[in-house]
């Protein structure tokens, strides 16, 4: 039988018998057991009734969390000329064209979000095998292939979260830090759930949201009451 440390045992005891709770109850519970030596993230996992292998059942989108993620996001922008200058002025961490492509091809990827102007996609397209598996490939559907690089960079820096259903139909994301006030975390969780609800694809049949769990980075998870979470 597995033996758990004091912190884990305490957390598991606090969660015992807790299921199908409201967002408010879940956030309060998770904050009470997030006692790691670092500021844990609040993470959400949504099991959806979709099969992403079918194009009409893919769930993908973005959401601007009202209170940000609490994380520092490094942004790379593929652009030339005035658009490159615009990206730098907006706060992009890395800006370039073929030179940036060569850096990425060399294995150096020190950014969390990648944005490109449409004219740069032939260059960025060569990086598909590198950026694709890391979910960093620019895509017009989520606003990362755009001429408005200023807005895209500011959105990425300001708490925009991208989401995409994995093979099993699960959407996972970080929606804040355990150090946030409960009210701010609640707002973020509800905003994320609302965005995924609005992204329901035309091909989804039957129950769309099958299960929603939230947890801290190092803590156990708790299952939300889906109906209550979607009330607002």
**DSSP letter string, 111-144:** -SEEEE-GGGHHHHGGGHHHHGGGT----GGGT-
> Is the confidence at residue 24, as pLDDT, over 90?
yes
pTM of the model: 0.83
Output the pLDDT for position 123: 96
d(CA 132, CA 139): 10
Contact 70, 92 (CB under 8 A): no
CATH code 3.40.50.790 region(s) in the chain: 75-157
HSE-CB for 204 with a 13 A CA cutoff: 19
> Is the confidence at residue 14, as pLDDT, over 70?
no
Mean pLDDT of 191-208: 95
pLDDT digits (tens, 9 = 90+) for 214-230: 999 998 899 999 998 88
**Inter-residue long-range contacts of 181-184, CB under 8 Å, 24+ positions, other chains counted:** 182/24, 182/27, 182/28, 182/31, 184/66, 184/67
Query: Is CATH 3.40.50.790 what the domain over 75-157 is classified as, yes or no?
Result: yes
CATH code 3.30.190.20 region(s) in the chain: 17-69+160-229
Q: Which two tokens stand for residue 142?
A: 């989520």
pLDDT digits (tens, 9 = 90+) for 128-187: 999 999 989 999 989 999 999 999 999 999 889 999 999 899 999 999 999 999 999 999
| CATH superfamily of the 17-69+160-229 domain | Ribosomal protein L1/L10, rRNA-binding domain (3.30.190.20)
Among 198, 79, 204, CA closest to 138: 79
Mean pLDDT of 190-218: 95
How many CB atoms sit inside 10 A of residue 66's CB? 12
């Amino acid at each position: 039988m597995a033996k758990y440390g004091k912190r884990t045992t305490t957390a598991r005891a606090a969660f015992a018998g807790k299921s199908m709770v409201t967002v408010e109850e879940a956030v309060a519970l998770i904050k009470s057991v997030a006692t790691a030596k670092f500021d844990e993230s609040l993470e959400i996992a949504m099991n959806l009734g979709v099969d992403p292998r079918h194009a009409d059942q893919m769930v993908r989108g973005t959401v601007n969390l009202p209170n940000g993620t609490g994380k520092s996001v490094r942004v790379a922008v593929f652009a030339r000329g005035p658009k490159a200058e615009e990206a730098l002025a907006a706060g992009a961490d890395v800006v370039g064209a073929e030179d940036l492509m060569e850096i990425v091809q060399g294995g150096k990827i020190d950014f969390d979000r990648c944005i490109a102007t449409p004219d740069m996609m032939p260059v960025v397209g060569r990086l598909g095998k590198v950026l694709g598996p890391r979910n960093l490939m620019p895509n017009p559907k989520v606003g990362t292939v755009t001429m408005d690089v200023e807005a895209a960079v500011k959105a990425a820096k300001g708490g925009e979260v991208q989401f995409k259903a994995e093979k099993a139909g699960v959407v996972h994301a970080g929606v804040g830090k355990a150090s946030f006030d409960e009210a701010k975390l609640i707002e973020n969780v509800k905003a994320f759930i609302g965005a995924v609800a609005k992204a329901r694809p035309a091909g989804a049949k039957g129950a769309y949201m099958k299960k929603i769990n939230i947890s801290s980075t190092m803590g156990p998870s708790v299952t939300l009451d889906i109906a209550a979470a979607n009330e607002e």
